[in-house]
Structure 1
């Protein structure tokens, strides 16, 4: 999988929260059927929980129109952390052992960092701060997260604007493209 595609998967995932630091319920949204549509035309939809390779996962479909291109298999741990266990692309699952940490237990705080690695993939994320942001007609105070993903000596950087209980409202790709939440 290309570094940029994996980075997009890692950061756009709507996520779940559990116990731990006692974040608000739904800090990382994860209700089955929840959908996000972005200005790129991509829609993400949370599927029904399932068991894959003995692990409880929640699939998150990435689609354009009615065609699903990939499906992320997310593990939501009791400590509130969120892990990418695998990616299903075209019926072929790339299973990560160990899994990749997408988000630590919430709530996220400015200056917080986390990292993980699986095989040749390594991700390092940092909450850069809180940014006032206007997306369409709506204003937010979003957490700005900078993630560096490295694979095979290639590096990609993405900025993600995350709003607790809502999800990712904007992200900026490595090439500078800005993608906004539409609905």
Structure 2
């Protein structure tokens, strides 16, 4: 009887869909926000010897910027470059967008150089009710220092789903629509 249960579990597991990654940057993944922006994940490419996953920021069918993310074997996510206006900015000191998951309140990480720096801190959990659904999201405060100026953004991240809300330093709120 025990062998039959183990065999049934094995067969069932083989037919099951693979689990979604903690940071869901899968080709074809798409998020649409209340600002009208859509973010679309493309197929990985090699750029400057680094395998990167492009994430396009679009309004309508027009791509305005594209982040080039390195998804490392340890599960961390690094921003290697940004395409904007036909010009690539490549970061010689990549920026750590996310450390290996899972994230938990109190975690903090920094990266960058003396001229461009990110400092992020998981400040807690928030229950959010949005048109896209109801979520328990990790709130992450990120301070970006560039050219001597600091800007702050809070993102609300749901593991395996992605960012469901952006809160900019000016108080504007952008929510996931679908």
Post-superposition CA distance 1:119-173 (Å, at most 9, x none): 5111110000111111126211100001111111111111110000000000101
| In structure 2, distance between residues paired with 1:38 and 1:149 | 22
The unaligned stretches of length 5 or more in structure 1 are: 1-23
Q: With structure 1 as the length reference, what TM-score do the two structures score? A: 0.85
2:70 to 72, 75, 79: 75
Q: Which stretches of structure 1, 4 residues or longer, exceed 2 Å deviation after superposition?
A: none
1:116 aligned counterpart, secondary structure: strand
1:179 aligned counterpart, secondary structure: strand
Is the Cα contact below 8 Å between 1:113 and 1:126 reproduced in 2?
yes
Greater CA drift, 130-139 or 59-68: 130-139
Whichever of the two has the greater Rg, that structure is 2
User: Looking at both structures, which has the greater relative contact order when contacts are Cα pairs under 8 Å and sequence separation is at least 6?
Assistant: 1
The Cα of 1:90 is off from its aligned counterpart by 2.0
The unaligned stretches of length 5 or more in structure 2 are: 1-18
1:51-90 alignment, distance < 5 Å: 51-90=46-85
1:164 to 159, 163, 178: 159
Q: With structure 2 as the length reference, what TM-score do the two structures score? A: 0.87
Note the aligned Cα RMSD (angstroms). 1.1
The match for 2:11 is none
Is the Cα contact below 8 Å between 1:96 and 1:118 reproduced in 2?
no
1:22-37 alignment, distance < 5 Å: 25-37=20-32
